[in-house]
Amino acid sequence: MKMSDLVAEYIVRLLDEEGGNAEIKRNELAVTLGCVPSQINYVITSRFTPEQGYIVESRRGGGGYIRITRVVVDRTTAIMHIVGSLGDNISAAAAEVILNNMTSGNMITPHDRALISSAVSDKAYSSVAQEQRDTLRAAIMKNMLMTLIMSGKHSY
Q: How many CB atoms lie within 10 A of CB 148?
A: 21
Among the listed residues 52, 50, 42, the one whose alpha carbon sits nearest the alpha carbon of residue 5: 42
Edge-to-edge strand ranges of the sheet holding 65-70: 21-24, 65-70, 54-59
Same domain, 95 and 48: no
Cβ burial 7-29 (10 Å sphere, 16+ → b, else e): bbebbeeebeeeeeebebebeeb
**Domain-embedded: residue 155:** no
Which residue type does 62 have? G
Answer yes or no: do 45 and 62 share one domain: yes
Residues 60-118 have pLDDT tens digits of 776 678 999 988 778 888 888 889 888 899 999 999 989 998 898 788 999 999 999 99
Q: Are residues 61 and 128 in the same domain?
A: no
Question: Are residues 40 and 94 located together in one domain of the fold?
Answer: no
**Overall pTM > 0.75:** no
What is the pLDDT, as a whole number, of residue 63? Answer: 63
Cβ partners under 8 Å of residue 28, min gap 6: none
- Considering the domain architecture, whether residues 88 and 66 belong to the same structural domain is answered as no
Residue 156: pLDDT above 70? no
Final residue belonging to a domain, choices 15, 50, 70: 70
Number of domains observed in the structure of the chain: 2
pLDDT, tens digit (0-9, with 9 covering 90-100), for 11-27:
999 999 999 999 999 88
If asked whether residues 118 and 92 sit together in one domain, one would say yes
Show which of 70, 90, 123 is a domain's final residue: 70
Residue 121 pLDDT greater than 50, yes or no = yes
88 inside domain: yes
The reply to whether 80 and 50 lie within a common domain is no
- Domain of 35, CATH number, reads 3.30.56.130
Look at residue 156 and tell me if it is in a domain: no
pLDDT interval class at 58 (50, 70, 90)? confident
Domain of residue 52, residue span? 3-70
Judgement on whether residues 37 and 85 belong to the same structural domain of the protein: no
CA distance 156 to 153: 8
Same domain, 97 and 119: yes
